[in-house]
Amino acid sequence: MTVNRELFDEVMVPNYAPSAVIPVRGEGSHVWDQADNEYIDFAGGIAVNCLGHCHPALVNALKVQSEKLWHVANVMANEPAIRLAKKLVDATFADKVYFANSGAEANEAALKLARRFALDNYGEHKSQIIAFNQGFHGRTFFTVTVGGQAAYSDGFGPKPGNIDHCNYNDLAAFEALISDNTCAVMLEPLQGEGGIISPTVEFIQGVRALCDKHNALLIFDEVQTGVGRTGHLYAYQGLAVTPDILTTAKALGGGFPIGAMLTTTDIAKHLKVGTHGSTYGGNPLACAVAEAAFDTVNTPEVLNGVKEKEALFRQLFTQINDKYHVFKEMRGEGLLLGAVVAEQYQGKARDFMLASIDNGLMALVAGVNVVRFAPSLVIPEADIREGMARFEKAVAQVVNAQ
């Protein structure tokens, strides 16, 4: 069988439009395609491959667990899931963990829990959920409606109700929206898909205070920011604000699908037996790999290294932009970074991403005006320098095509 991009179009539902490049193997921050072309990976599978490709600790964990136990479902407990939950609890504010397969499912669980908590404690009137424009929380119908991007949620019929949005970092608009009828507020502690937008101190602390005032639960979607991405194990730990519920996925498994919802005992008790579940949630294979990823990332060497690598990215980015003047700024924190295009390149972030592929670099976009980098947290300095050299060639290619 010849496997190529044409076969993809023949057999796959057309909701994706992948590039012509089909990766076949990876090692560290390097990826090779079917023609054995080599790429530096600054995309990380959209902030998933936190330890790069085929990291020995993850490969070993998968091999060992694959010869023990693959699946039992939640009619029984399993050791990898219990160990991973204990480590998550010990390292965060949380007391309890719920495992799922993805970030969307972790967010779905968080939203259902918040609604049930409010119903049990306050009554049916307390059901409003507030989220933020340009937010992204997944593609289930509940989470895509909570995410503040109508382009993703329109066109599928009536949406889940009592969900409202306001602008991120607009504390006055948020204060006008929240009330004693609000059951939960969901936000990213650094907006990813929305353009790599960091919260102001006033905003994030103000949201926490208003949630407390109105007895609303604060949910942090850390699907993209979690597991070391910002240089903290979880981004909330660098914000002096603690959520009531936190969701994590993407980097949690280092490439193996897994998600989790973390919360306190008092809140968790409202998901009684039978109220929610997942066949694959807490799968032994997934949890064994995630435990290895977590153990590797949750060290001072890796977390401090993220900040050091961020500084190098910013330094090299500035050198490129001083020469070509095509970006306004680099936003973000740690190794979740966004290069914002200048006025004359508005709407053309994708051009830089495609030119990067032409020059042997995998990058991302965050909306139409931001080129996004989310590389391995342990990417070597030499690969950062080589990758940014390739990015400079991509920038020159776009400039020369103008």
DSSP per-residue letters across 191-223? BSTTTSBPPPHHHHHHHHHHHHHTT-EEEEE-T
| 250 part of the active site | yes
Please give the Cα distance from 180 to 126 (Å, whole number): 7
Are 216 and 244 spatial neighbours (Cβ–Cβ below 8 Å)? no
Please give the Cα distance from 174 to 169 (Å, whole number): 9
What is the 8-class DSSP label of residue 254?
T
Predicted pLDDT at 148: 85
Q: What is the pLDDT of residues 312-367, one digit of tens each?
A: 999 999 999 999 999 999 999 999 999 999 999 999 999 999 999 999 999 999 99
Predicted pLDDT at 177: 98
Biggest distance spanned by C-alpha atoms of the chain: 62
Predicted pLDDT at 46: 97
Considering the candidates 250, 294, 313, 327, report the single residue annotated as catalytic: 250
- Ramachandran sector of residue 55 (left: φ over 0; alpha: ψ -120 to 50; beta: rest): beta
Predicted pLDDT at 402: 78
- Which residue numbers belong to the known binding site for pyridoxal 5'-phosphate? 103-104, 136, 221-224, 279
Are 254 and 58 spatial neighbours (Cβ–Cβ below 8 Å)? yes
Nearest 5°: phi and psi at 255?
Answer: 125, -15
Please give the Cα distance from 399 to 402 (Å, whole number): 5
- Which residue numbers belong to the known binding site? 103-104, 136, 139, 221-224, 278-279
Pure H helices in 249-299: 265-268, 284-297
Considering the candidates 221, 244, 351, 383, report the single residue annotated as catalytic: 221
Q: What is the pLDDT of residues 93-117, one digit of tens each?
A: 999 999 999 999 999 999 999 999 9
Are 301 and 132 spatial neighbours (Cβ–Cβ below 8 Å)? no
Considering the candidates 117, 136, 256, 317, report the single residue annotated as catalytic: 136
Please give the Cα distance from 302 to 28 (Å, whole number): 15
Instruction: State which residues of the chain have pLDDT below 70.
Output: none
Token pair, residue 243, equals: 């959520």
Predicted pLDDT at 341: 97
What is the 8-class DSSP label of residue 349?
H
| 120 part of the active site | no
Q: Mention every residue, 6+ apart, whose C-beta is less than 8 A from residue 224.
A: 46, 47, 103, 188, 190, 192, 250, 336, 374
Predicted pLDDT at 157: 93
Q: Which domains does the chain have, with CATH numbers?
A: 5-55+300-401 (3.90.1150.10), 57-297 (3.40.640.10)
Nearest to 356 by CA among 389, 311, 326, 321: 389
Nearest 5°: phi and psi at 337?
Answer: -120, 145
pTM (predicted TM-score): 0.96
- Which residue numbers belong to the known binding site for N(2)-acetyl-L-ornithine? 139, 278
